[in-house]
Structures are given as structure tokens and as C-alpha cells.
Amino acid sequence: MATDKDQSGTSTDAAGSDAGPIARIPLHDAVAGRLRDMIIEGVLEPGARIHETHIGAQLGVSRTPLREAIKFLASEGLIELIPARGAIVRVFSKKDVADMLTVLRSLESLAGKLACENGSDRDIRAIRKIHDQMLVYYKQKRRLEYYKLNQEIHSAIVRLADNEHLAYLHGILQSRLKRIRFIGHEGPTNWASAVEEHEEIIAALEARDTVRLMAILDRHLLGAWERVEAII
């Protein structure tokens, strides 16, 4: 929920003639989004202190909304609050990453199961489409775009599960892992096998083969650990 809205930051608010009411983003929300981006992109390194006045000046906001954003991200687990000593960007150990992926495997397996049960054919076709586009980026070796669609597919499967709480927890884990994955997205990753697994994932989903989908997702994320282990 909070994790994926991302209505601030990088999104370039294409000022088209949307029907709905114009989005009114509270400052603390916008600031939270920017901080998230800064953490993921490594502008704020793990362990770095977040000076309220400094960062506040940099973003052009006062301390009040900045502090509110910090509390929000602290609850999300991206920032650590040290009483009377401010906030630091959370440091994730190797075990942390392994543990996160362990949980993620379980969560995505569940999501896969529910997606098979609840997903409409239309939604599944949409995922296939994202997958096809991802393949194009893969062949063109456009890593950043590939990386983004890769994540998008996983999120899409979770959305298909039609379980808001599952999506929320998944989002938190993804958010925490994003920094690591961002680092990895340019490394000498074993790209080919990941792509192959994705192909299998889509196929299993289309066939609504619950058991197979769960197995592949599980294996895929086990592979993610191997792909990511080296770079930590």
C-alpha cells in the first residue's frame, strides 16, 4: 500500500487530462517517497545518519514533515531510529538478505497459488505482455528497464492473488530488498537462467498449474539468493 503508490519522486506526473480529482500529496508523503528513492539508489548509504536540518534544506522542507516521513519509513524498516541520536539508514547483513528471501519465497509461493485460483484470464494475458516486453529489454541488454519489469511481474502476480495484506507484506520485503537488487542489476548476474525461469512461471500461470507455479517461484527466488549472494 504505502510501498507501491510512489506517487512522488521519479514519477513525472504526466499532466494529461485525467478524469479523477487531482492528486493532492501531503508533504510528508512526498518526502517519504524521495527518501525511499535516495536510499534505494544509494544516495543515502546504509549506516548514514539522516541530519534533519541538512536533508530538510536539501529537499526544501522544514523539519516537521521530514520527521513525519522518517517515522513512516522507520515503521517500514528502511530507517532505524536511535533515541536522542537521530535516524540512520538501516544496514542489512548477509543473513538479513537471506532471511528476507526465505520469507519472500513463502509469500510468493502463496501468491502464486492464489493467483492461479483467482486470476482472470485477462490479467494473466497482461502479465504475459509484460513478460514479452521484458524479453525485448533482455535481448537489448537494457538492464535497468529489464530489472524494473522483472520486479513488476512479481508484483503483478501478487496483485492477482487479490489479497491486500499479502501484497502489503510483499511490498515491505521488496522495498527492503530493492537496494540490494539495485546494486545487483548491473553485476555479472546469471541473467539467462532467471529469464528462463520467468518463462516457466508465466507458462505455469497460464496453465493454472498451481503446484508447478509454486515450485518454480520457490526455485526462482532460491536462485535470486545465489545471484545476489556474491555482491554483498
Partner DNA sequence: ATTTAAAATATTGTATACAAAATACTTGAC
Partner DNA sequence: GTCAAGTATTTTGTATACAATATTTTAAAT
Distance CA 174, CA 164 (A): 15
Q: Which is nearer to its own copies, 44 or 114 (CB)?
A: 114
Q: Choose the contact partner of 61 out of its own copies, DNA, none; CB within 5 to 8 A by kind.
A: DNA
The answer to whether 44 and 80 are in contact (CB under 8 A) is: no
With 0-12 / 13-18 / 19 or more C-beta atoms within 10 angstroms meaning exposed / middle / buried, residue 162 is middle
Edge to edge, the sheet with strand 49-50 lists: 49-50, 86-89, 79-82
**For DNA, which residue of 15, 19, 22, 84 counts as binding (CB under 7 A)?**
84
**For its own copies, which residue of 50, 55, 73, 217 counts as binding (CB under 8 A)?**
73
Q: How far is the CB of 43 from its own copies (least distance, A)?
A: 21
Residues in region 23-52 near its own copies by CB under 8 A: 24-26, 28-29
CA distances from residue 122 to 82, 103, 131, 211, 222 in whole angstroms, order as listed:
48, 29, 14, 21, 29
Rg (C-alpha) for the chain, rounded Å, is 19
**For its own copies, which residue of 84, 121, 141, 188 counts as binding (CB under 8 A)?**
84
Distance CA 213, CA 219 (A): 10
Any contact of residue 76 with its own copies (CB under 8 A)? yes
Any contact of residue 74 with its own copies (CB under 8 A)? yes
Residues in region 23-82 near DNA by CB under 7 A: 24, 26-28, 49-54, 61-65, 67, 81
Q: What is the DSSP string of 176-201?
A: HHHHHHHHHTTS---HHHHHHHHHHH
Q: Choose the contact partner of 49 out of its own copies, DNA, none; CB within 5 to 8 A by kind.
A: DNA
Q: How far is the CB of 65 from DNA (least distance, A)?
A: 5
Query: With CB under 8 A as the contact rule, which of the stretches 18-26, 121-129, 136-144, 215-223 interacts with its own copies?
Result: 18-26
Distance CA 127, CA 4 (A): 18
Distance CA 220, CA 154 (A): 11
Q: Which is nearer to DNA, 87 or 157 (CB)?
A: 87
**For its own copies, which residue of 107, 124, 149, 221 counts as binding (CB under 8 A)?**
107
Binding residues (CB under 8 A) for its own copies: these are 1-2, 24-26, 28-29, 64, 67-69, 71-77, 81, 83-84, 96, 99-100, 102-103, 106-107, 109-110, 114, 163-166, 168-169, 172-173, 176
Binding residues (CB under 7 A) for DNA: these are 24, 26-28, 49-54, 61-65, 67, 81, 83-87
